[in-house]
Chains A and B, each alone.
Chain A
Amino acid sequence: MADTDILVIGAGASGAALSWRLSQAGIRVICLEQGDWVKPSDIPSNRPDWEIARMTWWSPNPNLRKLPADYPVNDADTPIKPLMFNGVGGSTIMWTCFNPRFHPDDFRVRSVDGVAEDWPLTYDELAPFYDESDRMMGVSGLAGDPSVPPRTARTMPPMPLGPGGRRFVKAFEQLGWHWWPGDVARNSTAYGDRPACNNCGACEMGCPIGAKGGADFAYWPTALKNGVELRTGARVFEITTDHKGKATGALYLDRQGRTQRVTANAVVMASNGIGTPRLMLLSRSAVHPDGLANSSGLVGKNLMHHPIAAVTGIFADIFDGGVGGAGASILSNEFYGTRKGRDFSRGYMLAGPRIIGPVAAAMGGWGRPLPWGASHHDEFEKLSGRSGALIISCEDLPVESNTVTLDAELKDSDGIPAPKLNYALDDNSKRMIRHAMDRGKEVWDVAGAVDTIERPLLAQAGFHLMGTARMGNNPRKSVVDRFGRAHDVSNLFIVDGSVFVTSAAVNPTPTIEALALRTAAHIIETRQ
């Protein structure tokens, strides 16, 4: 008898959601997580040097953070640096809680625009699982956005727009562009046993009071009560298979560096769009010579981020003091999806984040680095408290040469080969960014900014890791089927961002969770 029915690799958003859902149905689950629980006292947002921590030892970039649970990523050949967190809750520990859904057309870009591939499922199929994810995470927002399909009432009222957001509104109204309060997985009121947000603004550092919809707060407490066994400090280095190629479990290193084995009837990969292909490529065997479930050759290929650009508007007056939550309180879908008369396919979302501290401002914030020396403080005063950033999230189309592979030399602290990224912007993205920069400048001009600063590509913005084991109906052109089941291995599932066929132009976490919940429902329905 196997140790468990389902073995889940990774305790982040997707692993947590799936484990919770399976445990509700009484299925035995073991989850292996290489990191630990993050305690409130671990989060440095109550330290005077909190901004230094955010840029160094508590950075979302594992190459800067270098905690024991982290593995290095060779990012020399990508302009977008990968961001993630390894621990219970995964990258939701450091996410800004912005919670938008894909649009219906995002699932059928081949049919609509003749680019990339269609997803093997529709928005309507996923909608109930989006709703379930929203209920679990808790979402502040406002139903009725005319740019997206009707949806259920948000679980809490919207977060306030603040003075900066109101400046956006005024400009969008004048331009006649769409805008709407953003869906944010942060509590505008108390939600369940979690308190209302105290608006500290340091969401990216983790939430010590539990007001943020992190997977550690939203799913794990109930999943554990239901009997899920969560093993932390467990670094998986191989998914084991039998002579027929079926998954049998996993091998991992415990905290003492001892090799441990878990056997399972089925294995679910939930290790993000870099960790999952890394582990699949590490799990070569006679039956899977090119890596686990890789007969298509697509494991690790088609890596997508969202190229993130920023246009900063600088005003003569101090208008916000830099306060407010980190997630987007306002968004515009005016340029979302493909539109006639543009020289690129698909589109982008405009969003307005709020927080920026003095250290970040002095480093140039979303804009350009400030000078040092005699002119430093004058330039700082022009920017700090007087500026706002319009963030542009571009849809990233899949390109096979954008990859996650195993680095030939770089290894983690246990000697396991590290992942290497090769990623370049394609011409479509470059044209899209150029278009977006001009529109961003238009917003600020109308809003009355005295100056603008353009940042066509932010490097430390690679939170969204997608596409490296994509889903589809054709086993030659995809790694998993429409329920996340590997074409090559009938008892192997993938539920993280790896399965994305395309990226849309919005933050992926709600879609990742919805897909994980859908896979869980499928496993429950089809169990024998």
Chain B
Amino acid sequence: MMPADFAPALLGTLFPGKGKWPSADRTGAPARFAERAAASPPLAQAVEAIRSHLPADFASRDAAGRTTALQGAEAVAPAAFALVFAEATGFYYTEPLVQKVNEGKTGFPARPPQPQGIPLEPFDYSILDKRKIKVLGE
């Protein structure tokens, strides 16, 4: 069973935030991650595998201490770590606040693809005007 302070510490170490990017422990991602781990045996096993290689006081360590400890766990349990990282990434980048920051930086819409979609511009035929026609094999 994952202690209550573990998921915030873990995700906050993976995604510590920078500039406008929020630290994961200040979003809803840790709670969603913990909920998922409770329902998903493969994720729960992976979390436990990682935890078994971490010090008992992992959650109360400072950022540098948590990072060092987590690097050690990744080195000895890479497959489990990869699954945990993938799941954590999914929860972090689907947080509304994170999506909003991403939209501001890249233009990628902070909403699901449907139902709104994105305006479909017509094909620009002028791009063919200067095209060098090349017949392959000649």
A residues neighboring B (CB under 8 Å): 43, 45-52, 55, 142, 146-147, 157-162, 166, 169, 173, 176-178, 181, 188, 196-202, 205, 208-209, 318, 321-324, 333-334, 336, 357-359, 362-363, 372-374, 376-378, 381, 384-386
Q: How long is the Cα–Cα vector from A196 to B120 in the complex, in angstroms?
A: 9
Q: Which of A158, A333, A362 contacts B93 (CB 8 A)?
A: A362
Q: How far is the CA of A428 from the CA of B96 in the complex (A)?
A: 47
Instruction: Judge whether B90 and A377 touch: CB under 8 Å.
Output: no
**Distance of A153 from chain B, by nearest CB (Å):** 14
Show the binding face of B for A, using Cβ within 8 Å.
Answer: 13-19, 21, 67, 70, 85-86, 89-94, 96, 98-99, 102, 105-109, 111-124, 127, 130-136
Q: Name the A residues within 8 Å of B133 (CB-CB).
A: 146
A158-B123, A384-B105, A385-B107 as given contacts; A323 in contact with B118, CB under 8 Å? yes
A212 to chain B, nearest CB (A): 12
Number of A-B contacts (CB under 8 A): 153
* Contact, CB under 8 Å: A51 / B93: yes
Q: Is the CB of B136 within 8 A of A161?
A: no
Q: Would B107 and A318 count as touching, CB distance under 8 A? A: yes
Please state if B14 and A373 are interface contacts (CB–CB under 8 Å).
yes
Chain B residues whose CB sits within 8 angstroms of the CB of A147 once the complex forms: 135-136
Residue of A nearest to B17 (CB): A377
Contacts of B117 in A (CB 8 A): 197-200
Given A161-B127, A363-B86, A374 contacting B114 (CB threshold 8 A): no
Chain B interface, >50% SS class: loop
Is the beta-carbon distance between A385 and B14 smaller than 8 angstroms?
A: no
Chain A: CB-nearest residue to B67: A373
Task: Give the interface centre of A157, A177, A384 by most chain B CB atoms within 10 Å.
Answer: A384
Residues on B with C-beta less than 8 A from A46 are 112-115
Q: Say which residue of B93, B106, B111, B115 sits within 8 Å of A359 (CB atoms).
A: B93
| A159 to B105 CA separation, bound complex (whole angstroms) | 26
Contacts of A158 in B (CB 8 A): 123
A–B pairs, 19, beta carbons within 8 Å: A43-B114, A48-B94, A52-B90, A52-B91, A55-B90, A146-B136, A157-B122, A160-B123, A199-B119, A201-B118, A323-B108, A333-B136, A359-B93, A363-B86, A372-B15, A373-B16, A374-B16, A377-B19, A385-B108
Which residues of A have CB within 8 Å of B116?
198, 200
Q: Compute how far the CA of A116 lies from the CA of B65 in the bound complex, rounded to whole angstroms.
A: 58
Q: Are A166 and B123 within 8 A (Cβ)? A: no
Is B120 a contact of A160 with CB atoms below 8 Å? yes
Chain B residue nearest in CB terms to A207? B114
Is the CB–CB distance between B18 and A378 below 8 Å?
yes
Closest to A359 in B: B93
Q: Which of B17, B89, B109, B114 is close to A208, meaning CB atoms less than 8 Å apart?
A: B114
Partner of B118 from A50, A199, A362, A377 at Cβ < 8 Å: A199
List of B residues within 8 angstroms of A198 by Cβ = 114-118, 120
Q: How far is the CA of A201 from the CA of B116 in the complex (A)?
A: 11
